[in-house]
Amino acid sequence: MIEIEKIIKLKKQIGKKEDIKNPFHIAFGVDKNFIRPAGVTITSIIKNNPDIYFHFHLLTTEITDNDLKKIKNIDKEKSLITIYWFDASIFQSLQEKENLPISMYYRLIIPNLLQKFTDRVLYLDADIICLSSISNLKEIDFRDNVAGVVNQKNIDKKNIYSLNLKDKNFYFNSGVLLINIPQWISRNILSEFMKTINLREYLYPDQDVLNIILEDKIIPLPSAYNRFNEDRNLSGDDTVFLHFTGTPKPWKSWHEQSDIYIEYYSISPWKDIPFELPTQYRQMRVYAKKLWRKKKYISSARWFILYIFNKLTK
Q: pLDDT tens string for the chain (314 positions)?
A: 678 888 999 999 998 766 677 899 999 999 999 999 999 999 999 999 999 999 999 999 999 999 999 999 998 888 999 999 999 999 999 998 878 899 999 999 999 999 999 999 999 999 999 999 999 999 999 999 999 999 997 788 889 999 999 998 899 999 999 999 999 999 999 999 999 999 999 999 999 999 999 999 999 999 999 999 877 766 568 999 999 998 899 999 999 878 899 999 999 999 999 999 999 999 899 989 999 999 999 999 998 999 999 989 87
pTM for the model = 0.94
Helix (H/G/I), strand (E/B), else coil: 271: coil
Position 289 scores a pLDDT of: 93
Task: Please name the CATH architecture into which domain 4-243 falls.
Answer: Alpha-Beta Complex (3.90)
Instruction: Report whether 83 contacts 58 (CB < 8 A).
Output: yes
Position 175 scores a pLDDT of: 98
- Integer Cα distance of 124 and 130 in angstroms: 10
Position 234 scores a pLDDT of: 60
- Residue ranges of the chain that CATH labels 3.90.550.10: 4-243
Position 18 scores a pLDDT of: 65
Backbone Cα Rg of the chain: 20
Position 233 scores a pLDDT of: 66
- Integer Cα distance of 123 and 272 in angstroms: 27
Residue whose C-alpha is closest to residue 156's, from 45, 260, 245: 245
- Integer Cα distance of 261 and 232 in angstroms: 13
First to last CA, the chain: 49
